[in-house]
């Protein structure tokens, strides 16, 4: 019997979007051997906005879906944060 360990990657970043500091939560997932990141953030009304990003031509892009403009405008920064976390993972030891 062979045991395989898969590292779970989750992290949170604060980003200023639409004039407010917002908490974006990232979670790495693998779907059909493709690496995706599920991201969620709360809007002004307290509704959770959820979307996914995938790697395309060395850049992380939002998978097309209806999203608020303030989320779409942060696509490049979100991609940079994913790349930064994958290259320099944050380690928390309890």
pLDDT tens for each residue of 71-91: 999 999 999 999 999 888 766
Tell whether the model's pLDDT for residue 26 goes beyond 60.
yes
Residue 93 lies in a domain: no
Three-state DSSP state, 93 = coil
Residue 94 lies in a domain: no
In percent, the amount of the chain with pLDDT more than 90 equals 69
| Domain of 73, in residue numbers | 10-87
**Number of folded domains that form the chain:** 1
Q: Residues 80, 13: contact at Cβ < 8 Å?
A: no
Residue 46 lies in a domain: yes
| CA 5 – CA 34 distance, rounded (Å) | 17
Residue 24 lies in a domain: yes
Residue 63 lies in a domain: yes
User: Rounded to 10 degrees, what is the CA torsion of 77, 86, 62, 24?
Assistant: -60
Residue 62 lies in a domain: yes
| CA 27 – CA 22 distance, rounded (Å) | 16
């Amino acid at each position: 019997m062979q045991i395989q360990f898969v590292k779970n990657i989750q992290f949170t970043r604060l980003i200023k979007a639409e004039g407010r500091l917002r908490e974006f939560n990232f979670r790495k997932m693998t779907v059909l051997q493709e690496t995706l990141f599920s991201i969620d953030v709360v809007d002004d009304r307290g509704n959770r906005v959820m979307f996914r990003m995938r790697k395309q031509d060395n850049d992380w892009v939002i998978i097309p879906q209806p999203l608020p403009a303030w989320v779409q405008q942060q696509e490049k920064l979100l991609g940079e944060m994913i790349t930064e976390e994958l290259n320099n993972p944050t380690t928390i030891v309890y």
